[in-house]
Amino acid sequence: MKINVDSIEDKWIRKWRESKIFEADPKPGKPKFFITVAYPYPNSPQHIGHGRTYTIADVYARYKRMCGFNVLFPMGFHYTGTPIVAMVKRLKGGDRELRKLFVEVYGIPESVVDGFDEPVKVARYFHEEIKRGMEEMGYSIDWRREFTTIDPQYSRFIEWQFLKLRERGYVKQGSHPVGWCPSCSGPVGQHDTQGDVEPEIGTFTLLYFKLSDGTILPAATLRPETVFGAVNLWVNSSGEYVKAKVDGEYWIVSVKALEKLRLQNRSVEACEVLRGSDIVGLTALNPATGMAIPILPADFVDPTHGTGIVMSVPAHAPYDYVALMEVKAKGVDGVEQRVIDAIDIKPVIRVEGYSDIPARDVVEKYRVMDQRDPKLEDATQDVYRAEYHRGFMRDDIPIYGGLPVSEARVRISDDLRSRGLASYIYDIMNHPVYCRCGALCMVKILEDQWFIDYGDPEWKRVVHKLIDSMSIKPEVLKAEFHNVVDWLREKACARRIGLGTRLPWNPDWIIESLSDSTIYMVYYLISKYVNLYGIKPDCMKPEFFDYVILGRGDVDSVSKSTGIPRDILESIRIEIEYFYPLDSRHSGRDLVSNHLAFFLFNHVAIFDERMWPRQIVVNGSVMMEGKKMSKSLGNIIPLRSAIKEYGADALRLSLLSAASLLQDVDFKHSIALSFKAWLERFIKDAEELKSAAELDSVMDRLRVIDRWILSRLQARIDEARRALEELEVRDAVQSVIYGLDDDISWYKLRVSVDGGLDDVAKAVLKSLWKVRALLLAPLAPFTAEEVWSILGGGGMASTQIYPSPSPSLRDIVVEACEDMLRSLLSDSREILKLMKKPASRICYYLSSPYKWRVASYAAEMFKLGSIDVRGLIDKCRVDPELKGYMDRISRLASEIVREAMRLGRVKVELYSRINLDVLRRYLEDAKPFLERELKCRVEIYVEGEGDVYDPTGRASRSIPWRPAIYVE
């Protein structure tokens, strides 16, 4: 029979939808479980990496539902933000790369791409695409609550949230440096740059070197402490410079630098255009030492970086050292050689392992050829790092002598600034970074920027308290959350462009995406009513949210002022009281330091303690055949194509089983295929077991091995439950699939006669298949439903109660005997393997009763604590029944102790349940099986009884946990 995965999936998607089993409404008295995953941003189809988080959440939702909870698992779509806007702009600008991505990688028809002329159209398209993927994956979502973050009703909600934050004093206004494109006049993030580089903003100290007429030559540096060793200045002689009036003083900087100063809100007025060569040869005063130093040309100076004026510290900066050596050797046009010769290298910092001039050390070490040599970067890194961590200011440096460099740096910069000899400037650390439009990125200081003040210490304190009291899975992340909360500072919460909600008190600003997604989980409880009754945005005034979310105000007056009928208001209020707080929040690990942290802050700010979230679950990402998924590698597999290729269940299992929660999953084609095959086989087996009898009808005919497999099943159920409870989905797959497979294949080997199964075995397997279908239902729901229905389970698997271990089917003695049988078989095989000739008969010798007595003492000792030979002998000595055996016991005791150590606590505990009679009967019973497996006659004796066939005297070697073996 051929299994048609597609039609099975279609069938169950339809049945689930028609039966509305995933639509959750408040049910007083029934425990609820509210679970959400971070909603998707619809700027591309989802790939299998996105699928992991949603699948884990769905497994949890399905599991909790089967545990009797009224589970609510909703979904929305996050339209807020700039990337989609930027994409449309690029498409309109004829960006071929992006078009290619859409058409060739995502498989979107050309005509559809042509229609992408507005951000919302793009969002709607991917929204539907993503939603379909979620349905196809079998996610048990209550779709009645779906919304997007640009729905006007949602905007009312976000406005309300921001009014609350502002009321509580968490919203502030201030200035803020951002990466900026002067040509687009907009902020640039990673998405906006060539090569997706994140512009890093750094603060440079601007040191004011002055010409004799007072004109300032500001040198930008990250190492202001080295100013004491600045013995000349560098400019690029062919670079464009300007003399300009900056904040009322005359400055000379590069043309680009003037633009930066303007963006950073200095008053700037250019006066005169210069070339670098125009200022070469002039003399400037060092602001720290007062020394007159010459201005010299250097090719390495990049006029677009910093100010285009570079202070030269040849003792500690390899670039400066090399450049100085060059000018000393070659001379400079228009500068007297005497001036150049007079330049002395001045050391400022001493650091162990380096000479007085560390820059020279590394230049020699790296064999740097000239100032264009790329090795200078590494050389520079070396010196900087060593000096920063291990360096001290030399004792001849006034005031700061003896200070560690890291401390001196801050103090010197502060002191010079307070004396008006320096200031600071922001610049791009990883310069140069280019905007997609091609322009060089700079730093702009935005004035009047709105912030949420996550730096507020009191607010942080409360968030710490929440983190301590909630569950975070995996638990190791708790420390990370605490750290993140400690780091967080003001967060810019609004921008000028992009989709989203406008700040209610200042509509020029649009609330950015990480700030409008912090408490929206509660909105799912409202959106159901918005969708159901078409509540108008205008009705959703602050008092509406105050009432339904916080329980403030009076229903009648709220109803009157909003025009929303009283019963609807009350229903929403009841819904929120019932489902809130959120029981589990799921996301990938990349959201820990932003979204998830903000989620906690905002809940604490807006809700009462009893409505704070209960749990966060974080998972790692997905790799593709060992490599990171990326557009450039072209190894992104869209979720929906993967579903087509492997089927939803096989894909789910692949994503669930390949790694523990926080670890990155390595997705492999071969693994997905083997799950696919496994699932098909599971269904085929069910078809074959369909006609078997029910377990109840064969209960009185069960053999030990039947009892064994049923007992194992109970253990697997227990493992699966435990694993799912802790969201160790990997372990759940392990137990339900591989673990049970192991048990079943052993069982089949034991019960099959001539390769076939009798009707008892079939009945046992049928019952096992039914239980297994339910065990599998959260993990691979389509297959589970299919098998459950094939075997006539009744109702849907998704709504059954998750199996619990049944104590009456657990049989530890049988498990112990079977375990011993297996090790006996494997020991026998090992012996047989080493024998050259085939064996004709194999004899097992069980220990005589007195040995069992000694073993039971040993097990007891082990259970209570440690085990030792002397102690064991002492115990035996006082036992009158062992009186006659003391001569043999000393050797036996040491053997037993050794074996106990080898077996370990768990096995010894297990074996202690067995006694001689039970084991003898058990092995006698299994004799035909052993003979079949070992292909020779098997005989079982008890040491010390009459007619024991024992030509080599092996019987005496037996101990109770390990019968002796003789092979002939």
Partner RNA sequence: GCGGGGGUAGCCAAGCCUGGUCUAAGGCGCAGGGCUCAGAACCCUGUGGGGUAGCCCUUCGUGGGUUCAAAUCCCACCCCCCGCACCA
**Within 38-57, which residues bind RNA (CB under 7 A)?**
41, 43
CA distance 77 to 146: 8
Footprint of RNA on residues 477-496 (CB under 7 A)? 477, 479-480, 483, 487-493, 495
> Is the link from the previous residue into 432 a cis peptide, with omega within 30 of 0?
yes
- Residue 570, SS3 per DSSP: helix
Judged by CB under 7 A, which stretch of 161-169, 199-207, 209-217, 219-227 contacts RNA? 199-207
The least distance separating RNA from the CB of residue 290, rounded to whole angstroms, comes to 32
What string of DSSP letters covers 78-130? ---BSHHHHHHHHHHTT-HHHHHIIIIIS---HHHHHT--SHHHHHHHHHHHH
Contact call for residue 178 and RNA (CB under 7 A) = yes
The correct pick among 833, 864, 880, 946 for binding RNA (CB under 7 A) is: 833
Contact call for residue 866 and RNA (CB under 7 A) = yes
Contact call for residue 238 and RNA (CB under 7 A) = no
The least distance separating RNA from the CB of residue 177, rounded to whole angstroms, comes to 8
- In this structure, what token pair is assigned to residue 703? 């053999």
Residue 67: how many CA atoms within 13 Å on its side-chain side? 17
Contact call for residue 674 and RNA (CB under 7 A) = yes
The least distance separating RNA from the CB of residue 498, rounded to whole angstroms, comes to 5
Max Cα–Cα distance, the chain, nearest Å: 121
The correct pick among 90, 589, 703, 888 for binding RNA (CB under 7 A) is: 589
- In this structure, what token pair is assigned to residue 938? 């098997």
The least distance separating RNA from the CB of residue 528, rounded to whole angstroms, comes to 24
The correct pick among 289, 531, 593, 856 for binding RNA (CB under 7 A) is: 593
Contact call for residue 670 and RNA (CB under 7 A) = yes
Nearer to RNA, 653 or 773 (CB): 653
- In this structure, what token pair is assigned to residue 668? 């492999």
User: Residue 38 has what DSSP assignment?
Assistant: P
CA distance 245 to 152: 49
The least distance separating RNA from the CB of residue 182, rounded to whole angstroms, comes to 15
Contact call for residue 312 and RNA (CB under 7 A) = no
The correct pick among 36, 46, 55, 82 for binding RNA (CB under 7 A) is: 82
The least distance separating RNA from the CB of residue 346, rounded to whole angstroms, comes to 26
Residue 924 CA, distance from chain mean position: 54
The dihedral over CA atoms of 740, 742, 748, 754, expressed in degrees to the nearest 10, equals 150
Number of neighbours of residue 62 by Cβ within 10 angstroms: 25
The least distance separating RNA from the CB of residue 442, rounded to whole angstroms, comes to 13
Number of neighbours of residue 692 by Cβ within 10 angstroms: 21
Strand order in the sheet with 471-473: 70-72, 32-37, 584-588, 615-619, 471-473
The correct pick among 290, 507, 626, 794 for binding RNA (CB under 7 A) is: 626
Nearer to RNA, 105 or 492 (CB): 492
354-393: b (≥16 Cβ within 10 Å) or e:
beebbbbbbbeebebeebebeebeebbebbbebbbeebbb
**Which pairing describes strands 627-628 and 622-624: parallel, antiparallel, or unpaired?**
antiparallel
Selection from 224, 189, 651 nearest residue 406 by Cα: 224
CA distance 611 to 350: 58
- In this structure, what token pair is assigned to residue 695? 């377990």
Nearer to RNA, 791 or 955 (CB): 955
The correct pick among 270, 671, 809, 916 for binding RNA (CB under 7 A) is: 671
The correct pick among 104, 117, 200, 269 for binding RNA (CB under 7 A) is: 200
The least distance separating RNA from the CB of residue 504, rounded to whole angstroms, comes to 18
Contact call for residue 148 and RNA (CB under 7 A) = no
Nearer to RNA, 477 or 760 (CB): 477
Contact call for residue 834 and RNA (CB under 7 A) = yes
Footprint of RNA on residues 745-784 (CB under 7 A)? 745
The least distance separating RNA from the CB of residue 886, rounded to whole angstroms, comes to 23
588 and 53 in contact (C-beta within 8 Å)?
Answer: yes
Contact call for residue 278 and RNA (CB under 7 A) = no
User: Residue 148 has what DSSP assignment?
Assistant: B
The site map against RNA for 540-579 (x = CB under 7 A) is ----------------------------------------
C-alpha R_g of the chain: 38
Strand order in the sheet with 171-181: 186-187, 171-181, 442-453, 490-492
- CA distances to 130, 298, 509, 912 from 75, rounded to whole Å, are 11, 60, 27, 53
Nearer to RNA, 241 or 941 (CB): 941
The correct pick among 715, 903, 918, 936 for binding RNA (CB under 7 A) is: 903
The least distance separating RNA from the CB of residue 58, rounded to whole angstroms, comes to 21
Residue 121: exposure state from Cβ atoms within 10 A (0-12, 13-18, ≥19): middle
- CA distances to 286, 299, 366, 401, 775 from 359, rounded to whole Å, are 21, 18, 11, 20, 67
Contact call for residue 73 and RNA (CB under 7 A) = no
User: Residue 40 has what DSSP assignment?
Assistant: P
Nearer to RNA, 664 or 688 (CB): 664
188 and 435 in contact (C-beta within 8 Å)?
Answer: yes
What string of DSSP letters covers 829-882? HHHHHH-SSPPSEEEEEEPPHHHHHHHHHHHHHHHHS---HHHHHHHHHT-GGG
Contact call for residue 827 and RNA (CB under 7 A) = yes
Contact call for residue 298 and RNA (CB under 7 A) = no
Contact call for residue 172 and RNA (CB under 7 A) = no
- In this structure, what token pair is assigned to residue 512? 């950015």
CA distance 887 to 275: 107
Contact call for residue 3 and RNA (CB under 7 A) = no
The least distance separating RNA from the CB of residue 948, rounded to whole angstroms, comes to 14
Nearer to RNA, 329 or 906 (CB): 906
The correct pick among 5, 323, 362, 514 for binding RNA (CB under 7 A) is: 514
Footprint of RNA on residues 786-825 (CB under 7 A)? 823-824
Judged by CB under 7 A, which stretch of 15-23, 154-162, 183-191, 251-259 contacts RNA? 183-191
Nearer to RNA, 823 or 856 (CB): 823
697 and 709 in contact (C-beta within 8 Å)?
Answer: no
The site map against RNA for 647-666 (x = CB under 7 A) is -----------xxx-xxx-x
The least distance separating RNA from the CB of residue 170, rounded to whole angstroms, comes to 13
Contact call for residue 150 and RNA (CB under 7 A) = no
Contact call for residue 742 and RNA (CB under 7 A) = yes
The correct pick among 701, 870, 905, 935 for binding RNA (CB under 7 A) is: 905
Selection from 953, 831, 836, 959 nearest residue 901 by Cα: 959
Contact call for residue 960 and RNA (CB under 7 A) = no
The least distance separating RNA from the CB of residue 759, rounded to whole angstroms, comes to 22
Nearer to RNA, 310 or 821 (CB): 821
Residue with tokens 């971070």: 38
Contact call for residue 684 and RNA (CB under 7 A) = no
Number of residues that bind RNA (CB under 7 A): 94
277 and 238 in contact (C-beta within 8 Å)?
Answer: yes
Contact call for residue 702 and RNA (CB under 7 A) = no
The correct pick among 15, 90, 132, 730 for binding RNA (CB under 7 A) is: 730
Contact call for residue 190 and RNA (CB under 7 A) = yes
Contact call for residue 529 and RNA (CB under 7 A) = no
> Is the link from the previous residue into 849 a cis peptide, with omega within 30 of 0?
no
Nearer to RNA, 435 or 854 (CB): 435
Footprint of RNA on residues 344-403 (CB under 7 A)? 389
Contact call for residue 681 and RNA (CB under 7 A) = yes
Contact call for residue 594 and RNA (CB under 7 A) = yes
